[in-house]
Amino acid sequence: MYVGKPLPRPEDFRFLTGRGKYVDDIKLPRCASAGFLRSPHAHARILRLDASRALKRPGVIRIVTAQDWAKAGHGKLVCVHPMPSSDGQPMREVLRPAFAAEEVHHVGDVLAAVVAETRYQVLDALDAIEVEYAPLPTLSVTARALDDGAPVVHEQLGSNLISEILRGDPSLAKQAFARAAHVTALTLDSNRLAGNPLEPRCYLASYEPETDHCTLWATTQVPHMLRRWICKYALNIPEHKLRVIAPDVGGGFGNKVNFHVEVSTIVWMSRELGRPVKWTATRSETLQSDTQARDHATEARMAFAADGKILALQVDTIACLGGYLSNFAPSIPGNSYPQTITGLYTTPALDLRVRTVYTNTVPIDAYRGSGRPEATWVNERLLENAAREMGIDVVEIRRRNLLQSSDFPYKTPVGRVYDCGNPPALLNRLVDMAKYKELRQEQAELRKEGKLMGIGIAAFLDKSGTGPSRQLSTRGGLHGGFESATIRVHSDGKVTVLSGSHSHGQGHRITFAQIAADRLGLPIEDIAVVQGDTDQVPYGNGTWGSRSASVGGTAIYRASETVIAKARRLAAHLLECNPDDLDYENTLFFVKGTNRKLSFAEVADAAYHGASYPSDPGFEPGLECTIFYDPPDLNDPQAMHLAVVFVDERIGRVSIREYYTVDDCGTMINPMIIEGQVQGGLGQGIGQAMMEHVIYDPDTGQLLTGTFMDYAMPRASDMPPLQSDYLCVPAPSNPLGVKGGSETGTIGPPAAIGNAVVDALWHLGVRSIELPMTPYSVWRAIASASAGEA
């Protein structure tokens, strides 16, 4: 049995010895270099663009702009996951352009591309392109996007509204609020983030005129989808003429799922010039061009009965999507956020309004957590504030409201049905592990000495395993939710698994081998896993939304079942018995009650040389199976976090003394990999909570966090001592029982730490804290509380 074991990863040897192959590592002869001219303005009309001087610079081969794109007949960077308004109106859509034509809409918006022999020549040429802009009024504050008189990002739309999504039952909620014994209200904005995978984006396209075929090496999480989008939507080329290879990819987190602006241009230029073209982003470029995340302005209220039971939740969110629509963006505040907004609590009534808006900022799209951190921040902050206001212990109020395991499957006010779980067990484990009662005692004692200790909890739901294709298409989605798997047995009995997922750090090679090895009954050393090449692997939907284990893994499991069933039938033929008379163990097929046996390898051998093959025409040679598995449902991982903090209130510095997590991620195929995912997620969740923030100047839209000097991310010394546990209820929707495991780390920390900080400062009158909880933010909260503005 391999499933359940913490087996190490085969790819580590490469990475540890510097033999990883990331896109920028690939060198091709005659490779030209590309670069992009980006707008320094957040909103401006392009009056004049003159590349004539630049074209004369040494080594310059081509310079292209929006006019060239249009002349070439190229298409659009389509939004594949739209969210219409609840009244049926389509989104007010302005897609991200490959090149801005008349106006630029965010700092970093692309106006031109330069191709030259070397990178230095590209940079010199970019310097020489003359552009005249007429700056326009800029909107960069999400909360103001729908104000009267706010600057309009896309004039032709008349306002900044993209769509309005309404969920729940406003009149039911209104009644609940009217009869509530207690109402808690808070402003709960979610800070804007940059995913910053450590490997900057890079694309290398190599078109060979002799074969009219282009290979694109791309830093992508979705090689097949990227190929389809470039061929179908952007460049109108036949799909079989483009091969996309995602070799080693240095982190993604959702940033590398998108149909980014630059990639189509790189392919186009290679095709035009008949030679390889490469573009590697600098970090400053990624901060102006990679999609960003979160950025919600939210006013929310929760209504309670006298005993602390939730009666209703009302949420009004303005969700920023940036200067243009990116691929998946509308679905994050439009679908993922609503689906998890009520969290793990029985919530009789919900009134949710989400209005997505444009602002003059870099487009927003998927980033680890996608909507769930925003939802948990709202739900959990309201609940704990209410508990304190009502004099109910924060653990106790959760006990009174948590879904019981018998409540599952649970239909939320949004309509989503949660599959299974045992939230009270998670809470008990969390509270035991953290020694909650002792922590409260310690807190009281330290308070007498003037030390400010806080304890905060976040209990929450994740949403993963996207997902049933039908569900996606009812929302107008232009992509599927299935996953492909090929189990290819070779003639010597060894196996290659081909998966349409793509690992960029999540350890698919070992995880998938564990699944296949168990289902095929073979030693794991006999199993290789291949991903990331559209020429080798059947169409897959890639890795995002914690879907690879539950969807990709199940595809592998099912394909393995078909293969082993066929092997059994062939073994029975060769052993001249009935397939039911065979046992299969330790790679051997035994005829029951005899010592007649055949190894799997011998069966494979027979499958490929056909000498003793059944003459039955329904029985084909070969031993291989490809399936496209469409999952019947999503799955619902759950987790709970507890943070213990100390606040140095004179300077606002928060230190996290200890942090606890309990996860229900369903069956754990490789516990070591899952633990790594939880911990890695915490790195980013604690980042959002404590320090990460993409900041635009509120008046000019200038990006103030344009490098790592200003965009903070946790270092090793910023991570708190951690204790984690897992209490898993297998998901009912897949035979492995797997739920997603890689995003909960990002979801809990803002709420858990935010609750802890407010807990520490409650007696000073603090009720609210802004993300990220930098010293300045905490100091402001204390200062305004003591000024009576809490």
Partner 1 sequence: MATVEISLTVNGKPVVSDVEPRWPLVEFLREHLGLTGTHVGCDTSQCGACTVHVDGVAMRSCTLFAVQADGCDVKTIESVSAGNELHPMQAAFRQHHALQCGFCTPGMIMSALDLVRREGYELSEETIRHNLEGNICRCTGYYNIIKAIGAGAKAMRNASAG
Partner 2 sequence: MYAFEYRRPATLEDACKALDSLAESKPLAGGMSIVPVMRQRLASPAALIDLGRIDALKGIEVPNGGLRIGAMTTHFAVSRSELVRSKIPALGQLAGGIGDPLVRNRGTIGGSLAHNDPAACYPASVLALDATIHTDRRDIGADDFIVGTFSTALAPTEIIVAVSFPPPDTAAYIKFINASSRFSIVGVFVARSGGTVRVGVTGAGHHAFRCRQLEATLMTAFDPQAARAVRLPADELISDINGSAAFRAHVIPELAARAVEHCMAGTSGAIV
For residues 564, 569, 575, 579, the Cα torsion angle rounded to the nearest 10 degrees is: 100
Task: Name which position in 690, 703, 761, 766 contacts partner 2 (CB under 8 A).
Answer: 690
Stretch of 153-161, 281-289, 359-367, 574-582 contacting partner 1, by CB under 8 A: 281-289
Single-letter amino acid, residue 416: R
Residues 280-299 within binding reach of partner 2 (CB under 8 A) = 284
Q: How far is the CB of 682 from partner 1 (least distance, A)?
A: 5
Q: Is 12 in the site for partner 1 (CB under 8 A)?
A: yes
- Please name the amino acid found at residue 224: H
Q: Which is nearer to partner 1, 448 or 715 (CB)?
A: 715
Interaction of residue 693 with partner 2, rule CB under 8 A? yes
Characterize 22-45 residue by residue with b for buried, 16 or more Cβ atoms within 10 angstroms of its Cβ, and e for exposed: bbbebeeeebbbbbbbbbbbbbbe
Report the C-alpha gap between 565 and 744 in whole angstroms: 37
| 38 in contact with partner 2 (CB under 8 A) | no
415: buried, middle or exposed (CB in 10 Å: 19+, 13-18, 0-12)?
A: exposed
The Cα 341–Cα 315 span in angstroms is 9
Find the binder of partner 2 among 704, 723, 763, 786 (CB under 8 A): 704
Within positions 722 to 781, which residues make up the interface with partner 2, using CB under 8 A? 774-776, 779-780
695 binds partner 2 (CB under 8 A): yes
Stretch touching partner 2 by CB under 8 A, among 259-267, 389-397, 442-450, 648-656:
648-656
620's CB contacts (< 8 A; 6+ apart) are: none
Beta-carbon neighbour count of residue 352 at 10 Å?
24
Look at residue 530 and give the partner it binds from partner 1, partner 2, none, a contact being a CB closer than 5 to 8 Å depending on partner kind: none
Q: Could you give the CA distance from residue 462 to residue 459 in angstroms, rounded to a whole number?
A: 10
Question: Which residue, 611 or 716, is less far from partner 1 as judged by CB?
Answer: 716
Per CB under 8 A, contacts with partner 1 among 232-261 are 248-251, 253
Three-class SS state of 733: coil
Query: 699: Cβ–Cβ under 8 A, 6 or more apart, which residues?
Result: 138, 140
**DSSP calls for 459-479:** EEE--BS---HHHHHHTT-SS
Interaction between residue 718 and partner 2 (CB under 8 A): yes
Candidate segments 6-14, 84-92, 204-212, 320-328, binder of partner 1 by CB under 8 A: 6-14
Residue 256 three-state SS: coil
680 binds, among partner 1, partner 2, none (CB under 5 to 8 A by kind): partner 1
Beta bridge partners, 523, equal: none
Pair 178, 107: CB distance under 8 Å: no
Closest distance to partner 1 from the beta carbon of 673 (Å): 7
User: Residue 345: which of partner 1, partner 2, none does it interact with, CB under 5 to 8 A by kind?
Assistant: none
Contact mark string toward partner 2, 86..125, x via CB under 8 A: -------------------------------------x--
Could you give the CA distance from residue 57 to residue 360 in angstroms, rounded to a whole number? 33
The site partner of 8 among partner 2, partner 1, none (C-beta below 5 to 8 Å per kind) is: partner 1
CB 21 → partner 2: shortest distance, Å? 25
Question: Phi first, then psi: what are they for 249, rounded to 5°?
Answer: -120, 125
Do β-strands 161-168 and 349-358 pair in parallel, antiparallel, or remain unpaired? antiparallel
Q: Which of 679, 700, 702, 705 binds partner 1 (CB under 8 A)?
A: 679
Measured CA distances, 426 to 4, 313, 665 (Å): 20, 23, 12
Pick the binder of partner 1 from 40, 521, 683, 730 (CB under 8 A): 683
Specify the amino acid at residue 499: S
Amino acid identity at 648:
D
| Residues at the site binding partner 1, with contacts judged by CB under 8 A | 6, 8-9, 11-22, 24-25, 27, 120, 195-200, 248-251, 253, 282-284, 504-507, 672-673, 675-676, 679-684, 707-709, 713-717, 719, 722, 745
Contacts to partner 2 by CB under 8 A: 123, 284, 648, 650-653, 690-691, 693, 695, 704-705, 707-713, 715, 718, 774-776, 779-780
